[in-house]
Amino acid sequence: MKFKSIILAVFAVCTINIALADTKDVTIVKFSEREPGIEPYPVRYLIAQDLLRIDDDDDGSNYIIYDDAKRIIYSVNHDDSTILVIQYKDWKLPAFSFSRNVSWKLLEGAPKVDNKSAYTYWLSAGKTVCSEAQVAHGLLETESNMLMRYKQTLSAGQVEAIVATPEEMRTPCLLIDQVYNTGSVYERGIPLQQWHVNGLQRVLSSYATDKKVQAQLFQLPENYKKYSMGDNLSFGER
Protein backbone atom coordinates (compact mmCIF):
# COMPACT_ATOMS: atom_id res chain seq x y z
CA MET A 1 0.00 0.00 0.00
CA LYS A 2 2.82 2.38 0.86
CA PHE A 3 4.52 1.72 -2.51
CA LYS A 4 1.25 2.34 -4.33
CA SER A 5 0.76 5.63 -2.43
CA ILE A 6 4.23 6.81 -3.42
CA ILE A 7 3.53 6.00 -7.08
CA LEU A 8 0.26 7.93 -6.92
CA ALA A 9 1.97 10.88 -5.23
CA VAL A 10 4.70 11.00 -7.89
CA PHE A 11 2.07 10.77 -10.63
CA ALA A 12 0.14 13.64 -9.07
CA VAL A 13 3.26 15.83 -8.91
CA CYS A 14 4.09 15.04 -12.57
CA THR A 15 0.53 15.88 -13.59
CA ILE A 16 0.69 19.22 -11.79
CA ASN A 17 4.05 20.06 -13.38
CA ILE A 18 2.71 19.25 -16.85
CA ALA A 19 -0.37 21.40 -16.20
CA LEU A 20 1.78 24.31 -15.04
CA ALA A 21 4.02 23.96 -18.10
CA ASP A 22 0.91 24.29 -20.28
CA THR A 23 -0.08 27.62 -18.78
CA LYS A 24 1.12 31.19 -19.15
CA ASP A 25 1.19 33.99 -16.60
CA VAL A 26 -0.81 36.89 -17.97
CA THR A 27 -2.45 40.19 -17.21
CA ILE A 28 -6.07 40.17 -18.32
CA VAL A 29 -7.50 43.49 -19.50
CA LYS A 30 -11.12 43.68 -20.64
CA PHE A 31 -12.89 46.47 -22.49
CA SER A 32 -16.46 47.08 -23.55
CA GLU A 33 -16.56 48.50 -27.07
CA ARG A 34 -19.36 50.21 -28.97
CA GLU A 35 -19.68 51.17 -32.61
CA PRO A 36 -22.49 53.19 -34.22
CA GLY A 37 -25.57 51.02 -34.65
CA ILE A 38 -24.05 48.02 -32.83
CA GLU A 39 -24.68 46.81 -29.30
CA PRO A 40 -21.67 46.95 -26.96
CA TYR A 41 -19.39 43.92 -27.20
CA PRO A 42 -16.51 42.65 -25.04
CA VAL A 43 -12.85 42.70 -26.04
CA ARG A 44 -10.25 40.80 -24.01
CA TYR A 45 -6.50 41.37 -23.94
CA LEU A 46 -4.31 38.56 -22.58
CA ILE A 47 -0.87 40.06 -22.06
CA ALA A 48 2.02 37.68 -21.38
CA GLN A 49 5.71 38.53 -21.12
CA ASP A 50 6.30 38.51 -24.87
CA LEU A 51 2.91 37.72 -26.37
CA LEU A 52 -0.46 39.44 -26.66
CA ARG A 53 -3.80 37.84 -27.53
CA ILE A 54 -6.85 39.93 -28.41
CA ASP A 55 -10.25 38.27 -28.74
CA ASP A 56 -13.96 38.64 -28.00
CA ASP A 57 -13.60 37.21 -24.47
CA ASP A 58 -14.23 33.79 -25.97
CA ASP A 59 -11.53 31.13 -26.34
CA GLY A 60 -13.15 29.91 -29.57
CA SER A 61 -13.55 33.28 -31.29
CA ASN A 62 -11.42 34.79 -34.02
CA TYR A 63 -8.34 36.30 -32.42
CA ILE A 64 -5.14 38.27 -32.85
CA ILE A 65 -1.71 37.17 -31.63
CA TYR A 66 1.09 39.73 -31.36
CA ASP A 67 4.63 38.41 -30.95
CA ASP A 68 6.45 41.28 -29.27
CA ALA A 69 9.93 39.77 -29.70
CA LYS A 70 9.52 39.36 -33.46
CA ARG A 71 7.20 42.36 -33.92
CA ILE A 72 4.69 40.29 -35.90
CA ILE A 73 0.88 40.31 -35.76
CA TYR A 74 -1.18 37.23 -36.68
CA SER A 75 -4.90 37.80 -37.24
CA VAL A 76 -6.68 34.43 -37.12
CA ASN A 77 -10.01 34.01 -38.91
CA HIS A 78 -11.76 30.68 -38.28
CA ASP A 79 -14.50 31.46 -40.82
CA ASP A 80 -12.20 31.06 -43.81
CA SER A 81 -9.27 29.31 -42.08
CA THR A 82 -6.80 32.12 -42.77
CA ILE A 83 -4.12 34.01 -40.86
CA LEU A 84 -3.25 37.56 -41.86
CA VAL A 85 0.41 38.25 -41.10
CA ILE A 86 1.64 41.79 -40.45
CA GLN A 87 5.39 42.23 -40.00
CA TYR A 88 6.68 45.42 -38.44
CA LYS A 89 8.53 47.71 -40.84
CA ASP A 90 10.09 50.95 -39.76
CA TRP A 91 7.86 53.85 -40.69
CA LYS A 92 7.84 57.58 -39.97
CA LEU A 93 5.17 60.21 -39.72
CA PRO A 94 5.01 62.03 -43.05
CA ALA A 95 4.91 65.80 -43.42
CA PHE A 96 1.15 66.31 -43.21
CA SER A 97 -0.55 69.38 -44.64
CA PHE A 98 -2.17 69.84 -41.21
CA SER A 99 -0.83 69.98 -37.67
CA ARG A 100 -0.81 66.81 -35.57
CA ASN A 101 -1.08 67.42 -31.83
CA VAL A 102 -0.99 65.18 -28.77
CA SER A 103 -2.09 66.81 -25.51
CA TRP A 104 -2.31 65.68 -21.90
CA LYS A 105 -4.01 67.31 -18.92
CA LEU A 106 -4.52 66.17 -15.34
CA LEU A 107 -8.20 65.37 -14.76
CA GLU A 108 -8.83 67.44 -11.64
CA GLY A 109 -11.06 65.82 -9.02
CA ALA A 110 -11.24 62.44 -10.75
CA PRO A 111 -11.01 59.38 -8.47
CA LYS A 112 -7.70 57.55 -8.61
CA VAL A 113 -7.47 54.06 -10.07
CA ASP A 114 -5.11 51.80 -8.12
CA ASN A 115 -3.72 55.03 -6.66
CA LYS A 116 -2.99 56.35 -10.18
CA SER A 117 -4.16 59.80 -11.25
CA ALA A 118 -6.30 60.14 -14.36
CA TYR A 119 -5.26 62.32 -17.29
CA THR A 120 -7.22 63.42 -20.33
CA TYR A 121 -5.57 62.68 -23.66
CA TRP A 122 -6.32 64.30 -26.99
CA LEU A 123 -5.05 63.45 -30.47
CA SER A 124 -5.92 66.25 -32.88
CA ALA A 125 -5.57 67.03 -36.57
CA GLY A 126 -5.56 70.79 -36.78
CA LYS A 127 -8.53 71.90 -34.69
CA THR A 128 -10.35 68.56 -34.99
CA VAL A 129 -10.11 66.13 -32.07
CA CYS A 130 -9.70 62.70 -33.63
CA SER A 131 -9.41 60.71 -30.42
CA GLU A 132 -9.92 61.50 -26.75
CA ALA A 133 -9.23 59.31 -23.74
CA GLN A 134 -8.98 59.22 -19.99
CA VAL A 135 -5.80 57.40 -18.97
CA ALA A 136 -4.66 56.23 -15.53
CA HIS A 137 -1.08 57.50 -15.35
CA GLY A 138 1.32 54.58 -14.72
CA LEU A 139 -1.40 51.89 -14.60
CA LEU A 140 -0.05 48.60 -16.01
CA GLU A 141 2.99 50.38 -17.38
CA THR A 142 4.76 47.30 -18.77
CA GLU A 143 1.58 46.12 -20.48
CA SER A 144 0.94 49.62 -21.87
CA ASN A 145 4.41 49.69 -23.43
CA MET A 146 3.69 46.42 -25.22
CA LEU A 147 0.34 47.72 -26.45
CA MET A 148 2.08 50.80 -27.82
CA ARG A 149 4.49 48.61 -29.78
CA TYR A 150 1.54 46.51 -30.98
CA LYS A 151 -0.19 49.64 -32.31
CA GLN A 152 2.99 50.72 -34.08
CA THR A 153 3.28 47.28 -35.67
CA LEU A 154 -0.37 47.37 -36.73
CA SER A 155 0.23 50.79 -38.25
CA ALA A 156 3.09 49.37 -40.30
CA GLY A 157 0.42 47.29 -42.04
CA GLN A 158 -2.00 50.19 -42.28
CA VAL A 159 0.66 52.35 -43.92
CA GLU A 160 1.15 49.60 -46.48
CA ALA A 161 -2.60 49.31 -47.10
CA ILE A 162 -3.33 53.03 -47.44
CA VAL A 163 -2.25 52.96 -51.09
CA ALA A 164 -5.53 51.14 -51.85
CA THR A 165 -7.62 53.88 -50.22
CA PRO A 166 -8.93 56.66 -52.50
CA GLU A 167 -7.46 60.11 -51.84
CA GLU A 168 -10.85 61.60 -50.93
CA MET A 169 -11.21 59.10 -48.09
CA ARG A 170 -7.82 59.88 -46.55
CA THR A 171 -9.11 62.34 -43.99
CA PRO A 172 -6.67 63.85 -41.48
CA CYS A 173 -8.20 61.83 -38.63
CA LEU A 174 -8.03 58.60 -40.61
CA LEU A 175 -4.38 59.23 -41.31
CA ILE A 176 -3.20 60.04 -37.79
CA ASP A 177 -5.61 57.96 -35.70
CA GLN A 178 -5.79 54.75 -37.70
CA VAL A 179 -3.02 54.66 -40.29
CA TYR A 180 -0.01 56.50 -38.84
CA ASN A 181 -0.87 55.65 -35.23
CA THR A 182 2.15 55.85 -32.92
CA GLY A 183 0.23 54.35 -29.98
CA SER A 184 0.62 57.62 -28.08
CA VAL A 185 -2.47 56.94 -25.94
CA TYR A 186 -0.47 54.16 -24.23
CA GLU A 187 2.52 56.38 -23.39
CA ARG A 188 1.30 56.96 -19.84
CA GLY A 189 -0.82 53.93 -19.00
CA ILE A 190 -4.00 52.04 -19.81
CA PRO A 191 -6.98 54.04 -21.16
CA LEU A 192 -9.99 53.99 -18.86
CA GLN A 193 -12.25 55.37 -21.59
CA GLN A 194 -11.59 56.28 -25.20
CA TRP A 195 -13.56 57.89 -28.02
CA HIS A 196 -12.81 58.17 -31.73
CA VAL A 197 -14.23 60.58 -34.28
CA ASN A 198 -15.49 57.59 -36.31
CA GLY A 199 -17.87 56.70 -33.45
CA LEU A 200 -15.90 53.85 -31.86
CA GLN A 201 -15.94 53.97 -28.05
CA ARG A 202 -14.29 51.74 -25.48
CA VAL A 203 -14.50 51.54 -21.70
CA LEU A 204 -12.19 49.58 -19.41
CA SER A 205 -14.31 46.87 -17.78
CA SER A 206 -11.73 45.15 -15.58
CA TYR A 207 -8.10 44.16 -15.25
CA ALA A 208 -6.27 41.51 -13.26
CA THR A 209 -2.60 40.67 -12.94
CA ASP A 210 -0.78 37.41 -12.16
CA LYS A 211 -3.41 35.17 -13.74
CA LYS A 212 -2.83 31.85 -15.48
CA VAL A 213 -4.36 30.79 -18.79
CA GLN A 214 -3.82 27.85 -21.10
CA ALA A 215 -0.69 28.32 -23.22
CA GLN A 216 -2.56 26.97 -26.24
CA LEU A 217 -4.49 30.25 -26.39
CA PHE A 218 -1.30 31.79 -27.80
CA GLN A 219 -0.80 29.14 -30.47
CA LEU A 220 -1.73 29.48 -34.13
CA PRO A 221 -3.98 26.93 -35.83
CA GLU A 222 -2.25 24.39 -38.04
CA ASN A 223 -3.01 24.20 -41.76
CA TYR A 224 -4.55 27.68 -41.93
CA LYS A 225 -3.58 29.64 -45.04
CA LYS A 226 -1.28 32.58 -44.27
CA TYR A 227 -1.23 35.75 -46.32
CA SER A 228 0.54 39.07 -45.94
CA MET A 229 -0.58 42.64 -45.80
CA GLY A 230 -2.35 43.97 -48.87
CA ASP A 231 -5.71 45.60 -49.38
CA ASN A 232 -7.47 43.04 -47.15
CA LEU A 233 -7.18 44.95 -43.86
CA SER A 234 -9.99 47.31 -42.91
CA PHE A 235 -8.90 50.18 -40.72
CA GLY A 236 -9.91 49.72 -37.11
CA GLU A 237 -8.93 50.32 -33.50
CA ARG A 238 -7.85 46.81 -32.53
Q: Please give the full DSSP string across 75-101, using - where no structure is assigned.
A: EEETTTTEEEEEE---------SS-EE
pTM to 2 decimal places: 0.86
pLDDT band at 163 (very low <50, low <70, confident <90, very high): confident
Q: Is the pLDDT of residue 59 over 70?
A: yes
Residue type for position 223: N
- 3-class SS at 118? strand
CATH number for the domain formed by residue range(s) 26-238 = 2.50.20.10
Q: Please report the sign of the dihedral spanned by the C-alpha atoms of residue 6, residue 11, residue 17, residue 19.
A: negative
Q: What percent of the chain has pLDDT over 70?
A: 87
Tens of pLDDT, residue by residue over 166-211, are 888 899 999 999 999 999 999 999 999 999 999 999 999 999 999 9
Cβ 64 vs Cβ 238: under 8 Å: yes
What per-residue confidence (pLDDT) applies to 161?
87
Tens of pLDDT, residue by residue over 92-148, are 999 999 999 999 999 999 999 999 999 999 999 999 999 999 999 999 999 999 999
Tens of pLDDT, residue by residue over 4-29, are 444 444 434 444 443 446 999 999 99
